[in-house]
Amino acid sequence: MKTAQLTVALVQHRCHKTPEENLETLEKGIRSASREGAKLVLLQELHNYPYFCQTEETRFFDLAEAIPGATTERLARLAKELQLVIVASLFERRAAGVYHNTAAVLDTDGSLAGCYRKMHIPDDPGYHEKFYFTPGDLGFTPIDTSIGRLGVLICWDQWYPEAARLMALAGAELLLYPTAIGWDDRDDEAEQRRQFGAWRTIQQAHAIANGLPVLCCNRTGIESTEDGSASIHFWGGSFVAGPQGEILAEAPHNADHVLVTPLDMRHSEEIRRIWPYFRDRQIDAYGDLTLRFRD
Amino acid sequence: MKTAQLTVALVQHRCHKTPEENLETLEKGIRSASREGAKLVLLQELHNYPYFCQTEETRFFDLAEAIPGATTERLARLAKELQLVIVASLFERRAAGVYHNTAAVLDTDGSLAGCYRKMHIPDDPGYHEKFYFTPGDLGFTPIDTSIGRLGVLICWDQWYPEAARLMALAGAELLLYPTAIGWDDRDDEAEQRRQFGAWRTIQQAHAIANGLPVLCCNRTGIESTEDGSASIHFWGGSFVAGPQGEILAEAPHNADHVLVTPLDMRHSEEIRRIWPYFRDRQIDAYGDLTLRFRD
């Protein structure tokens, strides 16, 4: 990074009904983070709306917005005013019938530094994202900002070591995951614990495998479908991990929280010197990673 | 696997000076595991000898042995007698000047089911493996046995998500890591905790990313070089994780231990149905994984 010390922040919150209410909550969180010294703020996935992917309904495409557009312009003004970088997460309308789940990075000069369009799209009960989101076509490409090169990925990407590796190989200095994941309260407590553990562990492992910090901002709160037939208990638990996977800061499960923590960026360099995984990758034997299955 | 329930065992031990003493310790451990119902026993890395890679000395090549050879024949007889599969770890002499760090799998019929030759070779202070071991040329190829298809990897491989993924894509039903890793007691306790945590976390993540159990057998005990100038405190902590990365069983840091635990192999199938990561791999965007660096 361009500085040895970087203070980062995650804004975890319950989603309100309208973008306006959510943007007000976010702005308060970002201003609070700025007062604590944050120079990089990561927002949670699709922070402007309740998680509409619990059902498949064409009317929800009305929520999609252009990038750049009203939301990125508002956040860009805030980024410039506070002199920090904001990683936002939006439902992008690119054209009729072409919608993406997109992260937009707003730089300290008020510019749109770049976008990442979610590549891995889930489809599971309660998470019908394949209906809404076209897979990204920007690849696993980090975004250069005034504070450094950011490896922005989104939610379901977090389960794929390939995505993290490709970002790190392209020089990403941090990995950032806006996410929206939660429990089905019909699962018992042990299963809920295993799910949360798996989610956190695999992201800590991306930090370890690639020798860099990982930031993950998740939503919190219980959201039900309009007919009340289903709900997701978003598990919060946003966290920041260092390059050994060590948890540096973590938010609670069930409350809005602005999580601010300093990062020592020299630690990544030190770790990569004495645990030199990149040196020893056996790239000649990796060709089959592009196969669906090796059968 | 060929059975829904599989009891597995790891034999973690301090290494004695001679192969004969180590093989006696192992045989006791394997017989004990068998009495507890184990059908698969994983041994630690290079279990026949003290960890000679702390220094670079040509005389240590005398320790290398042929495969098949005396050790695999002895373990094969034991595998047949006890009707279990043994995953052994040897210093293989293939030819003058061609030595490997090799896992050998002995099946219940007393046959050598197959070998895996370590692909990722470390070279760090105290771990001068590049001097001793030629990288493997058998690829990331699972080994078929009477109990199922085993994804055997070795130690430094554990830091590479690519290796775990390639084994899983080739149908491995379990991942198995014989390892020899420890602390430098000059590091402070917090650093030691981070190192052990990283080691365990990244292997738990291989279980999660690939929806299968992971077995890791590490050595224990403090081993010093002959002149006393250096030593490694092998950290034990062998463990078995389920397909959500959940720790099912773990051995202590500083004691010999035969760790036996039952695995419910149906759990992998269930997990892969509801957390279907393989379905959504964006293989068209993974080509750069074969690059050294994307610059």
Express each pLDDT in B55-103 by its tens digit: 999 999 999 999 999 999 999 999 999 999 999 999 999 999 999 999 9
Task: Tell me, yes or no, whether B207 lies in a domain.
Answer: yes
Average pLDDT on B41-55 reads 97
Residue B1 has pLDDT above 80, yes or no: no
Express each pLDDT in B100-149 by its tens digit: 999 999 999 999 999 999 999 999 999 999 999 999 999 999 999 999 99
Q: Does A17 contact chain B (CB < 8 Å)?
A: no
What is the band of A2 on the pLDDT scale with cuts at 50, 70, 90?
A: confident
Express each pLDDT in A148-168 by its tens digit: 999 999 999 999 999 999 999
Express each pLDDT in B243-274 by its tens digit: 999 999 999 999 999 999 999 999 999 999 99
Task: Tell me, yes or no, whether A290 lies in a domain.
Answer: no
Long-range contacts of B55-63 (CB under 8 A, 24+ apart): B55/B128, B55/B225, B55/B230, B56/B128, B56/B131, B56/B132, B60/B132, B61/B93, B61/B99, B61/B132, B63/B91
Residue A1 has pLDDT above 80, yes or no: no
Express each pLDDT in A252-270 by its tens digit: 999 999 999 999 999 999 9
CA distance A179 to A191: 20
What is the band of B49 on the pLDDT scale with cuts at 50, 70, 90?
A: very high
Express each pLDDT in A224-251 by its tens digit: 999 999 999 999 999 999 999 999 999 9
Task: Tell me, yes or no, whether B15 lies in a domain.
Answer: yes
What is the band of A3 on the pLDDT scale with cuts at 50, 70, 90?
A: confident
Express each pLDDT in B193-207 by its tens digit: 999 999 999 999 999
Q: Answer for the pair B256, B220: CB distance below 8 angstroms, yes or no.
A: yes
Print the domain residue range for A126: 5-281
Q: Does B189 contact chain A (CB < 8 Å)?
A: no
Q: Any idea of the CA torsion for B56, B23, B157, B59, to the nearest 10 degrees?
A: 10
Among B215, B197, B207, residue whose Cα is nearest residue B245: B207
Q: Answer for the pair A211, B293: CB distance below 8 angstroms, yes or no.
A: no
Give the count of domains, chain B.
1
Averaged confidence pLDDT in chain B: 97
Catalytic residue flag (residue A45): yes
The nearest alpha carbon in chain A to B289 belongs to: A166
Q: Does B167 contact chain A (CB < 8 Å)?
A: no
Interchain contact, A202 vs B194, CB within 8 Å: no
Helices (H) and strands (E) counted in chain A, each on its own, are 6, 15
Express each pLDDT in B16-32 by its tens digit: 999 999 999 999 999 99
Q: Answer for the pair A176, A156: CB distance below 8 angstroms, yes or no.
A: no
Please pick, among A15, A39, A45, A53, the residue that the annotation labels catalytic. Answer: A45
What is the band of B2 on the pLDDT scale with cuts at 50, 70, 90?
A: confident
Interchain contact, B159 vs A122, CB within 8 Å: no
pLDDT at B195: 98
Q: What is the CATH number of the domain that holds A223?
A: 3.60.110.10
- Compute the half-sphere exposure of residue A74: CA atoms within 13 Å on the CB side of its CA: 13
What is the band of A55 on the pLDDT scale with cuts at 50, 70, 90?
A: very high
Task: Tell me, yes or no, whether A287 lies in a domain.
Answer: no
Averaged confidence pLDDT in chain A: 97
Give chain A positions within 8 Å (CB) of B275: 124, 159
Task: Tell me, yes or no, whether A220 lies in a domain.
Answer: yes
Express each pLDDT in A174-190 by its tens digit: 999 999 999 999 999 99
Q: Does A247 contact chain B (CB < 8 Å)?
A: no
pLDDT at B93: 98
Interchain contact, A244 vs B170, CB within 8 Å: no
Q: Does A273 contact chain B (CB < 8 Å)?
A: no
Average pLDDT on A64-92 reads 98
CA distance B243 to chain A (A): 9
Top residue of A127, A294, A295 to mutate, by most chain B CBs within 10 Å, is: A294
Task: Tell me, yes or no, whether B292 lies in a domain.
Answer: no
Query: For chain A, what percent of residues have pLDDT higher than 70?
Result: 100
Task: Tell me, yes or no, whether B136 lies in a domain.
Answer: yes
Q: Answer for the pair A1, A147: CB distance below 8 angstroms, yes or no.
A: yes
CA distance A39 to B120: 38
Residues in chain A: 295
Give the closest of B160, B208, B245 to A277, CB-based.
B160
Q: Answer for the pair B216, B201: CB distance below 8 angstroms, yes or no.
A: no
CA distance B117 to B115: 7
* DSSP character at residue A118: -
Interchain contact, B122 vs A171, CB within 8 Å: no
Q: Residue type for A64, please?
A: A
Q: What is the largest CA-CA distance in chain A?
A: 55
Q: Does B171 contact chain A (CB < 8 Å)?
A: yes
Q: Residue holding tokens 């996977």?
A: A245
- The H or E element spanning position B200 is helix B189-210
Indicate which residues of B carry an active-site annotation.
45, 118, 155
Q: Answer for the pair A35, A292: CB distance below 8 angstroms, yes or no.
A: no
Q: Does B248 contact chain A (CB < 8 Å)?
A: no
pLDDT at B250: 98
Task: Tell me, yes or no, whether A167 lies in a domain.
Answer: yes
Angle (deg, nearest 10), helices B19-35 and B70-82: 10
